[in-house]
Amino acid sequence: MNSRGKYRAVAPLGKWNVGHPRVARDPKSGYFRKISMRLRISTLFMALLALTVFLRGDPPPADIVPFAGLSPKEAVAKATLPPGFQLHLFAGEPDIVQPIAFCLDHRGRVWVAEGLSYPRRREEGKGIDRILCFEDTNGDHHFDRCTVVMTNLNLVSGLEWGFGGLWVGAAPYLMYIPIADGDVPKAAGAPKILLDGWNFTADTHETLNTLTWGPDGWLYGCHGVFCPSHVGKPGAPESERQWVDAAVWRYHPATHAFEIFSEGGSNPWGIDFDERGQLWAEMCVIPHLHHLVQGGRYIRQGGEHFTINASETARNSKHRDGGSRKPIFPYVYEDIQTVADHLHWSGGSGPHAANGRSDAVGGGHAHAGMMCYLGTSWPEEYRGKLIIGNIHGQRLNMDIPEPAGSGYVGHHGKDFLNFNDTWSQTLNQRYDQDGSVYIIDWYDKNQCHHNREDGHDRSNGRIYQIVYNNQPHTPVDLNRLSDDDLVRLVPSRNEWMSAHARRVLQERLVRAAGIDVGDPKPGVDSEWSRLSAASGKSAIRGELKTLVTQDKSSTGRLRALWGMHVTTPLAWEETRPLIEDSDEWIRSWSLQLVAENSARWFPPGSPAASEMVAALTRRAKEDPSPVVRRYIASALQRFPVDARWTVLTELVRHGEDAGDHYLPLMYWYASEGSVATDPGHGLDLLRNSKIPKVREWIARRIAALSMASN
């Protein structure tokens, strides 16, 4: 059965996560009053529905999980995996407890944050979270060197390595901690606050998390639906802050720009990029699998859509929640649904009705951790598959993405791993330089979030490593390689090697430009100029450009293109031939990357802006690829609203896109600002549109303008 239709039929059930406290810290807050009221209504609805299911006598059978509370060694022995795979205990209690976030560095070392402060932030200066660095120096798949790198941190929820230090999400802050590298790494200074305003007074299992470097050189992260936040640089007024309450966001390490990549969702705790740079996320309570595109607006577990940039906020200044000051965006009209053709919970009565009764279909609705496997040591059948942690199901699900139209459909694959232990709660997984996979396991009898500090067993925690066919551990240190050696790694199918090589090249350029990644004060324009000047003195850009045109594989060319961009953002002159390339992914990504600097191309009367609009208009009209048209719709959202018309007109003439999962919605998201600013021109767009939904939404927006003016 189509999961989109099924979920629509039971939407009230998944809207509020019953059992999670939605207690307002401020009883005057309209935002929290709405949540409290809807929660009571939803609780009553759930009770009635549960009674109905009971009286019908047809609930799914209760799951039978054979074990609970195993020792680390027993947990390894009792887990089941496909033939040829071995599960190793890399570290376990008491060496690691409450692992909440982790990452790998350029040496393949494992950095882990212990979330001992969770579920409440401690008083300032009294945090008890720690960051540890583990290393396997003898290749036996168990650590033999552990360093406590940082202590007294507070409510850590995200961790990533890069640019000589650690990027740490710890609400209310996104921080950078410089590290003195070496066999015994240590902090080289106090944490530097890059952003603040992340909410820590609401659901602290939804704060900023799973920090991940994107192929474009930005740091990506998730944020949950019930943590209303106003994010900005320290000291910034509200007018310079961005609202976040359900989104994937990104932060640029050199320019310090912060923005929303996609809006909507639930409380995601896992994102990853596939071989073509497509972003995948897991969700809880709502259907689990989402392919996130730039500028997309996605199904929400609760609350209203919000404005995602300053221009959108300015156009909708009157739409504010009275208590929270949330900038509401009421003109989404329809949001993007899951791409999965299945659910991981049983029956049609909603996710919570299937708690403990969903073993046969995937284990339940609570997910954490997303990995698109792009290592080189596992069998080829696993390459590109999505490995997703399932908390209530004590397992790793596997979904299989298949291209469809401008995006994908996600099929239900066979579960990859089952711990057969109800205490197992894995939170994330990442592959290493050898293609083996690390997993962190919170490991706790209690599976649900609540605010009691005594509600969790603080003595447990594990890190596992999954190895195929006794794959040996290979020592590596990419910082020791020359620029030329790193460039040779860029097109590699070993995505770990390619991604880390690209990032090390980016780090060297940032250092050469004299940019301090820990200082968010300089402006975007000044940092772009410094990067461009530093890049002009390097030979690696020419080498990467050659790879873009000459590498034999499409994905190798893409990696080289990303390498070009992270070492200096693409100029329009470089992009012009790339958007005419024979490969749809080169055309698509060239458009996204050059649009990142759209503010530089659109001063009044700019020749580059005129050329860019003309080129995009031609591509919108002639390009046979729906993928390219999707990227054009994303790029347009970064253009001034009065510069979009000719491109929009060509996009909406593609009647064949009417049934696409994304394109009608993305065309509308790109059109809304233009229609709202110039409704007369909007009527012309309506007449040209061959897509019924787009025509409907243009008419609704113009009608809303007319009603407002009267």
Q: What is the amino acid identity at position 574?
A: E
- CA-nearest of 277, 267, 263 to 216 is 277
β-strand 156-162 against 145-153: which pairing, if any?
unpaired
Q: What is the CATH number of domain 576-710?
A: 1.25.10
Q: Could you tell me the sign of the dihedral formed by the alpha carbons of 319, 321, 324, 329, in that order?
A: negative
What pLDDT is attached to residue 318? Answer: 87
- With b for 16 or more beta-carbon neighbours within 10 A and e for fewer, the 217-233 pattern comes to bbbbbbbbbbbbbbbbb
Q: How far apart are CA 14 and CA 42, in angstroms?
A: 9
Tell me the β-bridge partners of 418. 80, 395
pLDDT in tens, 222-255: 999 999 999 999 999 999 999 999 999 999 999 9
- CA-nearest of 365, 326, 306 to 20 is 365
| pLDDT over threshold 80, residue 46 | no
Q: What number of CA atoms fall less than 13 Å from residue 138's CA on the CB side?
A: 6
Provide Rg for the chain, Cα atoms: 25
- Position 538 confidence tier, pLDDT thresholds 50, 70, 90: confident
| pLDDT over threshold 70, residue 639 | yes
- The number of beta carbons lying within 10 Å of the beta carbon of residue 9 is 11
387 Cβ neighbours under 8 A, 6+ residues apart: 369, 370, 371, 372, 373, 396, 397, 398, 416, 429, 437
- With b for 16 or more beta-carbon neighbours within 10 A and e for fewer, the 697-708 pattern comes to bbeebbeeeeee
Q: How far apart are CA 271 and CA 290, in angstroms?
A: 10
- CA-nearest of 627, 687, 685 to 661 is 627
| pLDDT over threshold 50, residue 27 | no
Q: Where are the domains of the chain?
A: 72-468, 479-569, 576-710
Q: Long-range CB contacts (< 8 A, 24+ apart) of 84-89? A: 84/379, 84/468, 84/469, 85/466, 85/467, 85/468, 86/466, 86/467, 86/468, 86/470, 87/417, 87/464, 87/465, 87/466, 88/141, 88/142, 88/464, 88/465, 88/466, 88/467, 89/142, 89/462, 89/463, 89/464
pLDDT in tens, 98-115: 999 999 999 999 999 999
Architecture of domain 72-468: 6 Propeller (2.120)
pLDDT in tens, 585-620: 999 999 999 998 887 778 877 888 999 999 999 999
233 within 8 A of 198, measured Cβ to Cβ: no
Token pair listed for 659: 């049934």
Lowest mean pLDDT of 29-33, 229-233, 398-402, 562-566, name the range: 29-33
Select the more confidently predicted residue: 52 or 645. 645
| pLDDT over threshold 80, residue 13 | no
| pLDDT over threshold 60, residue 17 | no
- Position 58 confidence tier, pLDDT thresholds 50, 70, 90: low
DSSP secondary structure, 283-307, as one string: -SSS-SEEEE-TT-EEEESSS--B-
- The number of beta carbons lying within 10 Å of the beta carbon of residue 475 is 12
Residues of the chain above pLDDT 70, percent: 91
134 within 8 A of 91, measured Cβ to Cβ: yes
- CA-nearest of 174, 208, 167, 170 to 194 is 174
What pLDDT is attached to residue 338? Answer: 98
Angle at 448 between CA 444 and CA 453, to 5 degrees: 70
Select the more confidently predicted residue: 572 or 399. 399
- Position 22 confidence tier, pLDDT thresholds 50, 70, 90: very low
- CA-nearest of 175, 141, 392, 383 to 276 is 383
523 Cβ neighbours under 8 A, 6+ residues apart: none
Average pLDDT for 646-651:
98
Q: What is the amino acid identity at position 145?
A: R
What pLDDT is attached to residue 6? Answer: 30
